[in-house]
Amino acid sequence: MARIKEYVCYTELVYQRVNKKLAVDLSKPEIEALVTAVLDDSATDVEKVGKNYYVTNSSRQVQLVINSFNYRLITANHVTE
């Protein structure tokens, strides 16, 4: 997970997508802080499926989808349990 945290990158479009999918209105630095917090949390689970990492944190109710080749954040999903 340290490698993901070190190399994760963002596109302009993904900031809008994260806000839309999570139904929030966060700034770019706030989204990056959220991603870092999820990746730092010991309760976070990482699963590689195909070309993507699915990074799930149930306590924050967030799942991040990150490309495993270029570490680009693709989207974030709201998770309920």
Give pTM, 2 decimals: 0.94
What is the domain range of residue 22?
Answer: 2-78
51-77 confidence digits (pLDDT tens): 999 999 999 999 999 999 999 999 999
Residue 45, domain CATH: 3.10.450.200
Closest CA to 73 of 34, 45, 40: 34
pLDDT at 1 over 80: no
Half-sphere exposure of residue 18: CA atoms within 13 angstroms, side-chain side: 26
Q: How many domains does the chain have?
A: 1
19-43 confidence digits (pLDDT tens): 999 999 999 999 999 999 999 999 9
CA torsion angle for 2, 40, 49, 80 (degrees, to 10)?
180
